[in-house]
Amino acid sequence: MSDPNQREDRQFDFSVPVLVAGAGACGAVAALAAADAGVTPLVIERDDRPGGSTGMSQGLFCAAGTKSQAEHGIEDSADIFFADIMAKARGQTDPRLARMLADNSAPTLEWLRERHDLPWQLDTRFRASYGNSRQRVHGWAGHSGLDMVQLLHRRMSDQAIDVLMETKLVDIFARDDGRVIGVALQRADGAIEEIGCEALVLACGGFGANRALTDRYMPETRTLKYNGHEGSHGEAILLAEQMGAALADMGSYQGYAMLTDPQGISVPPPVLIEGGVIVNRLGDRFTDESDDIAGMVHPLTQQPDGMGWVIYDERIEALCAAIPELAQLMELNAPKAADSIEGLAALTGTDQARLAAAIDGAQNSVAEGAVDAFGRDWRDNRPPQGRYRALKVTGALYHTQGGLRVDASARVLRPDGSAFPNLFAGGGTARSVSGPSSWGYLPAMGLTTAVVLGRIAGQAAASLTIG
């Protein structure tokens, strides 16, 4: 931060009503929301092309009470969604923020569908699982998060919203009362520009690529690979903290136990949801694969070499083959295929007897209509049963879920709970609703938080500059 005594009469190169820092899903949605409210924002992005963490995702987010759910006969509501969020986070998150996200998830999705022609619909391949008590994961069939970001950028272009690529936020100028009056930006050639603004939306990434911060706040991830956006160093979080902003849930993150080795492609969750299992390199199962999609990374890291095999079969493959990640793995001929346990053990280097015991144990639980030794309920599912497939996997850190504490209007808060007058945050910069660690993460909740907070922040920022 610059010397506060020099901020009151600072002269800027030029000024804009709303500045949005970050051009991923949150920033793009914030910009579209501001434009719809009648204010044309300026968007900056540190990378040379749009993408960020959203571009590395599946482009899926949760929404409750949508038209697409109703078309598929799914009864859901904001109240049910709110209860699921709080239950998954064990009550250890901000209920006001959780309530706002649940209430606004469907309206935000419908606004983007109807106003901006984003083709999201309920993805019926994602059963109610991992804390979502209803089918509420929405996506764009056959497409990824990168497709989503690129489409959002086309919509920004349609609205004549300028995006300055290769432009990094390096300072925030504010008055003594915390009111932001402008920022310093660094362009690709190193030149510094100072731009005034009436409202600032921080929609930058989290801090997963900042090893010093992850070691400080989540030391249990030190042995994990990082499989997130390399630009996620948390600069916006640190700049706002220097202003006196409060941080929350900095130990929260999404881990993942199914990053393929050596391909570096995620095995999509439906492979497990539809009956797949994970074994270690010896052939033993070691966890309930249906319990915690993010926290499952930790029992995997405790296995020999921290490696495992996702075991599924031809039936599961057919159900999941259209999911882009699995389709890509199949194109690469990554899955090892065998008609028998003996053949699968030979291909994976696992112990045949132990692998057979792992698969037989799950199959016996189905026959008995019971829960298996790891707590997995097989009554409505079926484990692999021949024509096997196997993918070698390891654990990884995907993205952080902690950040700046915000209120239900996406305004950044101080430790005493008071809000900065015109500073907003969303995306990886803002705290989500996963609680203090990895176990509170709901599938697709990261993008829900980004998109909904983006819309709320864009609307609120625009309202400060009108009239």
The residue whose two tokens read 């907003």 is: 424
CB atoms within 10 A of CB 364: 13
pLDDT at 55 over 80: no
What is the rounded distance in angstroms from the CA atom of residue 333 to the CA atom of residue 423?
48
CA 310/CA 258 separation, integer angstroms = 8
Phi-psi region of 387 (alpha: psi -120 to 50; beta: other; left: phi over 0): left
140 and 88, same domain (yes or no): yes
Q: Is residue 1's pLDDT more than 60?
A: no
Range of the domain at 329: 255-397
pLDDT at 7: 47
Q: What is the pLDDT of residues 249-298, one digit of tens each?
A: 999 999 999 999 999 999 999 999 999 999 999 999 999 999 999 999 99
Output DSSP code: residue 15.
E
pLDDT at position 145 is 82
User: What is the pTM (predicted TM-score) of this model?
Assistant: 0.93
pLDDT band for 80, please (50, 70, 90 cuts).
very high
Domain end among 346, 376, 397: 397
Going by C-alpha positions, the residue among 286, 290, 255 that lies closest to residue 395 is 255
**Are 277 and 237 contained in the same domain?**
no
Task: Check residues 142 and 67 and name the one with the higher pLDDT.
Answer: 67
| Structure-derived torsion over alpha carbons of residues 101, 42, 144, 294, reported in degrees to the nearest 10 | -40
pLDDT for position 144: 82
pLDDT at 304: 92
24, 450 in Cβ contact below 8 A? yes
In this structure, the chain runs to a length of: 467
Considering the domain architecture, whether residues 36 and 52 belong to the same structural domain is answered as yes
pLDDT band at 9 (very low <50, low <70, confident <90, very high): low
Checking if the pLDDT of 162 tops 50, the result is: yes
Q: Are residues 369 and 392 in the same domain?
A: yes
Model pLDDT for residues 108-137, shown as the tens digit of each residue: 999 999 999 999 999 998 889 999 999 999
pLDDT at 20: 98
Question: Can you tell me which residue has the tokens 């069939």?
Answer: 141
Give the whole-angstrom CA distance, residue 359 versus residue 367. 13
Could you give the number of structural domains in the chain?
A: 2
pLDDT score of 254: 93
Tell me the CATH number at 81. 3.50.50.60
C-alpha pair distances (Å), 344 with each of 239, 306, 355, 448:
52, 20, 9, 39
Of 375, 397, 419, which closes a domain? 397
Reported as a single tens digit per residue, the pLDDT across 353-391 is 999 999 999 998 888 878 898 999 988 788 999 899 999
Q: Verify that 226 and 361 share a domain, yes or no.
A: no
